[in-house]
Each structure stands twice: as C-alpha cells, then as structure tokens.
Amino acid sequence: MNQSSVSLFRSRAVLGAGFMVLAGIAFAALNVVTQELAMTLGFPPASTAFWQYGFALILSLPLLVRLGLRAMKTDYPFRHIFRVLLAAFGVQAWVTGLVTVPIWQAIALVMTSPFFIIIGARLFLGETVGRDRWLATLTGFIGAMIILQPWSDSFTIAALLPVLSALLWGGSSLIMKNLTHHEPPETVTVWLLVLLTPINAGLAAASGFAVPEGLALWLLVAAGLLTALGQYLLTLAYNAADAAYVQPFDDLKLPLNVLAGWLVFGYAPSGYLWLGATLILFASLFLMLREAGKEAVVVS
C-alpha cells in the first residue's frame, strides 16, 4: 500500500464518511426489522421503540461494565437529557410513520434532516458551511425529492411523520456534535442508551404496553443490537468530522433502504429512483473528495 493510500485512510474526512456509511447500513437493516414488526406482525409502535432500545441497553451492558461509572461522568447532564428527549420523540414519530409509509418513501422524507442540521450547525455550533457543503446537501435533497414525488396522488399527511422525526433527530444530532467536542464517544452513546429506556417506557405505557413473544421477540433483540451498533457508529462519525460535512453521507441510506425494502417487502419505487440515487451518491463522493483534498493541502 503506497503512502497516498495510507494518508487517505487516516484522513478524518474519510473516517467520518466511512463511519456514517456504516451507520447507514446498520440503520437500513434496523428499518427492515421495524417495518416487519409494525406492518406484518402488528406490534404497537410505542412498545416497539421501548423494547428496541431496552434490548440495545442490555446488549451494551458488557461495554457499560468495562467502562464502569466513569462512562456516565459528564459536565453537561442537561445537554444529554435534552438530546435524548429529542431522540426519543423522533424515534416515536419514525416508528409510527413506518406503519403506513414504505421504507424508501420514509427515508426520502427523513432526508430533510440535513437542512435542519446544517442551519443549526451554523447558528449554534459556529461551523463554517461553505459553498461545497451547501451544494452537496442541496443535490442530495433534490435526489430525494425526485424519488419521493410529493406532488403525486399517493402522497399523504401520514408521510410527514418522517419529516417530524427528521427535525427532532436533527436537533439531537447537533447536541451530539457539541458533546463530542468535550466528551468521548462512549459517554455520548451510554447516556443515550441509559436514558432512552425509561423515557420510552413511559410513552409505551401511555399507549398500551405490549410484551413481545415468538418471532416478535427475536426481531426486537435484533433491533436492539442494530440500534446499539448504529448509534455508536454515528457518534464516531460526528467525532471524526464536522456535522455539516458528514451529514450528506447520511443520504446514502436512501439507496440502501430502497434495496432492503425491495428485497424483503417487494416495494417497487418509481422509475425515477435511480436518477435520484445517482445524485445522492455523486454529492456524497464529491464532498468527501473535496474535504480530503483540503486536509492534504493543510498538512503539506
């Protein structure tokens, strides 16, 4: 392996992009499991969210034991609490939306999140949002709209639930990015897992608590594992690079989820799918190469 290849893989731009793509793969698999629970098995959305993050917490216990109480040590407890509250309501909106909205359509709608994150990164985190980042995000969003076609007769009000989840998750992501400036990724992840369980328990109890069994139980265990993995990878992505930079790579979850929905549920998105997916892929690769190039100039 030559020196340029080694430098590329050590680039924080490449690391941030890579962690975000891996998180997208984990969340694509999670969405398939969640929709199977909601649409096929009819498991209540609020209870799905509770058991999903409850099992994620259980599966994370080895990490918690290894890190000990020091993993919970923080100077910013209220930021963690507010971040988790936003994430919890975002999860509820997302899981409820998946009951009626196909995976690929829900993902296209949730991709409005970069607008919330980039504007928030500029206003609250003081990050520089240059022309390249704006253009990449806008191109990815246009790709999503080409796939979604919100002007079509099939568009419903229920499809706006993923937009609500995008707004809530955008706020949660901004607080996460702020916290990674001061605390390690393990602390950010542990606080999320520990606090989400009691919050989701209250929301599930309010809507009628359901206990899983049989196939639903195993699917929820898988959802917990994918949730813990995806959240940790997401934290690593924001720790490696600016929020405004890594967010467009989250757009790659659209083709990943379209593929997953087609393989598992047989969803057939519109013929404009691949045009939109191409725009998303182009925007993400363009941004990664531009950022990596800027890093090379600074180092030299």
pLDDT tens across 131-190, in order? 877 887 788 788 777 776 777 776 677 777 888 888 898 888 888 888 888 888 778 877
Handedness of CA 177, 94, 160, 139 (dihedral sign): positive
pTM (2 decimals)?
0.69
Maximum distance among all alpha carbons in the chain?
60
Residue whose pair of structure tokens reads 């990878």 in the numeric block = 233
pLDDT tens across 73-108, in order? 888 889 999 999 998 898 888 888 877 777 777 777
Determine the pLDDT at residue 170.
85
pLDDT tens across 107-125, in order? 777 776 766 777 777 777 6
pLDDT tens across 246-262, in order? 767 776 777 777 777 77
Residue whose pair of structure tokens reads 């609500």 in the numeric block = 164
Helix (H, G, I), strand (E, B), or coil: what is residue 126? coil
Identify which of 227, 232, 225 has the alpha carbon closest to the alpha carbon of residue 190: 232
Higher pLDDT, 62 or 69: 62
Residues 21, 87: Cα–Cα separation, whole Å: 20
What number of CA atoms fall less than 13 Å from residue 228's CA on the CB side?
A: 24
8 A C-beta contact, residue 50 and residue 200: yes
Higher pLDDT, 65 or 53: 53
pLDDT at 6 over 70: no
Q: How far is CA 7 from CA 150, 245, 290, in A?
A: 43, 19, 15
List, as one string, the DSSP characters of 155-197.
Answer: --GGGGHHHHHHHHHHHHHHHHHHHHTTS-HHHHHHHHHHHHH
Q: What is the mean pLDDT of the chain?
A: 79
Residues 274, 279: Cα–Cα separation, whole Å: 9
pLDDT at 216 over 90: yes
Mean pLDDT on 199-224: 90
